[in-house]
């Protein structure tokens, strides 16, 4: 890897290539449960640092829609109702990280989701002489997540949206605007929120343990105002001055 780096031009900023990428770029995975605000934070922090925000959900949709090499294969699995293999998913993600903006650094959001994906990602990056520098986990207490995820109520008449924590109606269960009755969608109920968090924990705890064992996991307190979370995330990044 050192040999590769020595062959890179010493000055003259050219478009980055795999060979010219140094190991101290922001090559970061952002993790966090549903309701942690991970997607928004990933976008904000990526903009602050000037690296690309790669959201695996978007990448899936785009790849399938554009019908690129991996997208076509993924679509076949999805159409036949089969699970997309980890190897294929990781190839799609790494292909994105190999584009010029990705080579300059990235914040990966929503991926890896399983231990298999985490290992495959490490292997593929390593083959290119790259590695994850840090995995940042947005940590939020269960009660806060449940309140955030299950707080949404809609008006049955005018469809206005309320939230029991962030935007409560003046009278519980009644629309401020039109007096209509408020109701919850199935997706917004406490039960659904509990299920989503249980699935997340089951999938993700092994991934977090894996990165903790590698010594690159940092926990950030996500139970504070949005700006404070952004600041804490920024501070947790492996920046060049470090």
Smallest separation, CB 189 to Zn ion (Å): 20
**Which of 25, 38, 96, 148 is the catalytic position?**
38
Smallest separation, CB 173 to Zn ion (Å): 12
Active site residue 152: yes
Whose Cβ is closer to Zn ion: residue 95's or residue 160's?
160
Applying CB under 5 A, the site for Zn ion has a residue count of: 8
Active site residue 196: yes
Active site residue 61: no
Q: How many whole angstroms separate alpha carbon 150 and alpha carbon 162? A: 11
Q: Is 100 helix (H, G, I), strand (E, B) or coil?
A: helix
Residue 181 as a binder of Zn ion (CB under 5 A): the answer is no
**Which of 22, 75, 113, 212 is the catalytic position?**
113
Q: Strand order in 106-109's β-sheet?
A: 52-55, 106-109, 27-31, 134-139, 217-221
Enter the tokens of residue 203: 């999938």
- Bridge partners of 52, per DSSP, are 106
Residue 177 as a binder of Zn ion (CB under 5 A): the answer is yes
Residue selected from 18, 171, 172, 178 as contacting Zn ion according to rule CB under 5 A: 178
Whose Cβ is closer to Zn ion: residue 50's or residue 179's?
179
Residue 180 as a binder of Zn ion (CB under 5 A): the answer is yes
Smallest separation, CB 184 to Zn ion (Å): 15
Q: Is 56 helix (H, G, I), strand (E, B) or coil?
A: helix
Q: Is 12 helix (H, G, I), strand (E, B) or coil?
A: coil
The residues near 169 (Cβ < 8 Å, ≥ 6 apart) are 153, 162, 175, 176, 182
Interaction pattern, residues 131-170, with Zn ion; x per rule: CB under 5 A: ------------------------x-xx-x----------
Active site residue 214: no
In this structure, the strands spanning 134-139 and 27-31 are parallel
| Contact present, 31 and 208 (Cβ < 8 Å) | yes
**Residues in touch with Zn ion (CB under 5 A):** 155, 157-158, 160, 175, 177-178, 180
Any idea which residues carry the catalytic annotation? Answer: 38, 113, 152, 185, 196
């Amino acid at each position: 890897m050192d040999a590769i780096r020595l062959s890179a031009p010493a000055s003259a900023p050219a478009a980055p290539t795999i060979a010219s990428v140094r190991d101290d770029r922001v090559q970061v995975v952002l993790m966090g449960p549903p309701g942690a605000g991970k997607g928004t934070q990933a976008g904000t922090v990526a903009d602050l640092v000037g690296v690309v925000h790669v959201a695996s959900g978007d990448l899936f949709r785009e790849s399938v829609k554009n019908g690129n090499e991996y997208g076509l294969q993924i679509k076949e699995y999805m159409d036949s109702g089969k699970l997309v293999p980890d190897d294929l998913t990781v190839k799609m993600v790494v292909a994105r990280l190999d584009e010029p903006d990705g080579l300059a650094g990235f914040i990966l959001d929503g991926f890896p989701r399983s231990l298999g994906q985490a290992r495959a990602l490490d292997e593929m990056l390593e083959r290119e002489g790259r590695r994850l520098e840090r995995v940042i986990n947005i940590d939020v207490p269960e009660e806060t997540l449940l309140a955030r995820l299950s707080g949404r109520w809609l008006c049955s008449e005018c469809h206005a949206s309320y939230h029991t924590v962030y935007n409560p109606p003046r009278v519980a269960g009644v629309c401020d605007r039109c007096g209509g009755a408020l109701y919850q969608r199935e997706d917004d109920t406490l039960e659904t929120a509990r299920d989503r968090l249980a699935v997340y924990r089951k999938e993700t705890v092994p991934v977090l343990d894996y990165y903790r064992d590698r010594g690159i996991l940092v926990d950030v307190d996500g139970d504070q105002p949005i700006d404070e979370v952004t600041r804490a995330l920024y501070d947790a990044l492996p920046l060049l001055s470090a």
